[in-house]
Every structure is written in C-alpha cells, then in structure tokens.
Amino acid sequence: MKMSNRISAFQCSPIRRLSPYARDAQNRGIKVFYLNIGQPDINTPPQVLEAVRNYDQTIIAYGNSEGREDLRKALPDYYAKYGLDVRSDELLITTGGSEALQFAFMTLCDPYDEIIIPEPYYTNVSSFAHSAMVNLVPVTSKIEDGFSLPDISEFEKRITRKTGAILVCSPNNPTGYVYTREELLQLLNLAKKYDIFLIVDEVYREFCYDGEEFTSVLAFPEFADRVVCIDSFSKRYSMCGSRIGALVSKNPEVLANVLKLAQARLCPPEIEQVAARAALDTDDLYLKEVKAEYEKRRDFIVAGLQKIEGVVCSVPKGAFYLVAELPVDNAEDFAIFMLKDFSLDGKTVMVAPCEDFYETEGLGRKQVRIAYVLNTEDLAESLKCIEAGLKAYREKVLGELL
C-alpha cells in the first residue's frame, strides 16, 4: 500500500529522532543530560497543579472551539502588563503554539504558496509547512552576525506572487536572537508594501536578557490587520505537556477563518485550559526569577563553550537555546557518537543536530542546538562531556592527532 507523497517529504524531528540512542545509553546505565529539547527543569507554578487536582466536573465535556471564556477573558490583562492592547475576541485558544502555527499556515496560504523565513528556524515549522503544502523560502542568518535579521533587501528579493507571509520567531528558537523594534518595523513595512502577512512567534516573550526590552509585534497598531502573533503557555509557565497556546490577530477576517479550523478540531484540551487560567494568576516574581535563572545558565554555558577549542557559539539574547558550531564534519554523527560510543564517568549529553533547522541544503552541518534548560551543576557536567566527547570523536572517528 502507498503512503502519501506528502508524508514522505516530512522529516523525523532532529530534536527527537536520536531518542532511541539515548534510551539505549540509559539502559546501559549511562546518565544522559538532555540538551536537545526545550523541556525546562523549572517547576510549574503550584496553583496550576492545584487547579488540575481541584477539577471537579463530573463530565469532561467538549468546550468552545474558541477556547474557554474565562481563559480568553483573562488574557487581555496579561497582555496589558506589556502595554499591549489585545481584546478577548482578538484571540483564539489553541492546542499549543504548534496548532496556532498550523492554523496560521492553513489560513493565510494556499498549497504551493510561500512563506519567507530566516534560517536556522524552529525545525517543526518544516512539518507544519508540509502539512499545509506551503513552501518555506529561507533567508540565511549567520552565526558571525549573532543571527541578527539579514538585510531587509534579502527578504524583498524573495517576495513573489506566491508569498503569503513572512514568519519570524522572537526571541528566537534556535538562535536566541531577539528582533529589535527597528527590525520588526522593517518587516512590517515590507509586509505592507507587498500586502502580505507577518507572523511572529513570541512563545519566549518573557525570556530576554541583558536588561533588553522585548518588542512585541502587537505593539504596532498601524499594521495590526496584517499581523498574526503565536503564543503559548508551554515555556512561560513550564507547562509544556499541557498543550495550551493562542493565536492573536486584530484582523477579524483572519480569526473568522481560523475558527473554521478550530471548529473542525472541536476544542482545545479542557482541563489544561483550567490550568492555563490558573497560570495567569502567577505572581510576576515567578517569571522574574525564571528569567534570572535562564540568564545565569546562558552566561554559564556560553562561557564554558567558548573555552572549548574549536567551538564557535552565538551569544543568545533570549529564549533558552543557542547554536554552536563544532570542530566536526557532521554534527549529527557526533551527536550519535555521544550517545552510542561515548561516556565520561558514566555520563553523556544529547544535543540536536542543526542541519534540519535550515532549509538550504548543506547549511548547519557542523552546528548543534543546545537548550540550556538544566541547572548549572548539570550544565557543568554537560560541558565536561562535550569537551571530552569532541576530543574522543576527533581522535577516534576523524583520526585527528590531538
């Protein structure tokens, strides 16, 4: 029997596809530090767990396709804290930011339309694009420029009649880059000039370092009709497994059409929305402390990586990822070696090879994405493993004399 051509074009996620090697390593008694996935070790706020425990309905019923009213009504106050004016009827609750991205692609693009995106990009976007049969058109951002926005002319050059939208993610996964107000304005002006949409994925909004202010795409009312903002509770409140996100748009036509998809999938998870509503009552101090913790981890891992011979690493300004270029010919081989053939004092690390975070063939082959979601003690152990692992790989696999 034949599978669809569409599914053959999907990738197995570079964040998850090496997991069998990690499981084998664990079965051999090796402790694996998981730097491959953005799963924080930070506790979920207690009132979120309490809300789940206290869920007292006798039937877990279908809810509204738009999301629970209490959650939608509470979100404007959250946005207001950032000076953003968002009404409850300007957002739909989704099953994670992931579903919001899929809804945006399906709503704004026809099959074979194009979305322009800086690469490296959040790799799952590739699968969302394949499901919507949308082609991603990359603009390469470079490690030596700290992965800042490439010149706006590079985006303009790629606009065709098939361009439906530009998609950026800020703070960025995987690079940690945070787009400035001026960069967002350039993108918005370009979107206006060519009458296309700008989708901005802001699921890491809270995590910006070095005292820098975050600028949301929702802060530009004059462009509001062409903006779609992707949001999520996953990382903000360390509740990734709850699968609650939002799609925000001030364009009523966009929302009315997204609602058709939302109705087809019936509703977002009910108990998780109750948990998300409770998350919005989290003391601001929680987010402040979490951000300070990630900033500490960022400083620690960047300093550690920069000391390892041959490693080039971007300094992320936000989120909790970085892209590092390694002194190897193939980072995926190295990542597998670390799990299959290496351990240091019974420990090793799992990293995500970066090639599939790029659309352009051959780019990112020497790069890995590291998620600094573990505490500094674990990061210190991880750094030791990476340093020793690189040496072992270069000697044993590449045959270098070090």
Ligand X SMILES: Cc1ncc(COP(=O)(O)O)c(C=O)c1O
Q: Which residues bind ligand X (CB under 6 A)?
A: 38, 96-98, 122, 169, 173, 201, 203, 232, 234, 240, 245
* Residue with smaller CB distance to ligand X, 226 or 243: 243
Query: Pairing mode, if any, of strands 321-325 and 367-371?
Result: antiparallel
Q: For residue 295, what is the enclosing H or E element?
A: helix 284-306
Q: How far is the CB of 347 from ligand X (least distance, A)?
A: 25
Q: Which is nearer to ligand X, 38 or 316 (CB)?
A: 38
36 within 8 A of 18, measured Cβ to Cβ? yes
Name the DSSP letter for residue 400.
-
The arrangement of strands across the sheet holding 367-371 comes to: 312-313, 321-325, 367-371, 352-353
Question: Residue 148 Cβ, how far from ligand X at the closest point, in Å?
Answer: 17
Residue nearest to ligand X (CB): 96
Percent helix, strand, coil in the chain, to 5, is: 45, 15, 40
We find the least distance from the C-beta atom of residue 197 to ligand X, in angstroms, to be 17
Return the number of the residue (127 or 234) whose C-beta is nearest ligand X.
Answer: 234
CA separation for the pair 88, 78 (Å, rounded)? 11
User: Which residue, among 382, 380, 392, 381, has the nearest Cα to 328 in the 3D structure?
Assistant: 392
Residue with tokens 């706020």: 45
Q: Which is nearer to ligand X, 148 or 173 (CB)?
A: 173
Q: Which is nearer to ligand X, 261 or 385 (CB)?
A: 261
In the bound complex, what is the minimum distance in angstroms from residue 165's beta carbon to ligand X?
15
Asked if residue 35 lies in contact with residue 374, where contact means CB atoms within 8 angstroms, the answer is yes
Provide the minimum distance between the beta carbon of 103 and ligand X in the complex, in angstroms, as a whole number: 12
For residue 231, the minimal CB distance to ligand X (Å) is: 8
Cα separation, 88 vs 303, in Å, equals 43
Contact 333, 355 (CB under 8 A): no
- Closest contact distance (angstroms) between CB of 171 and ligand X is 9
Kindly report the number of other CB atoms within 10 A of residue 37's CB atom: 16
- Closest to 217 (Cα-Cα) out of 258, 252, 167: 167
**165 vs 388, which CB is nearer to ligand X?**
165
Q: What angle do CA 390, 394, 398 make, to 5 degrees?
A: 145
Tell me whether residue 374 or residue 385 sits nearer to ligand X (CB atom): 374
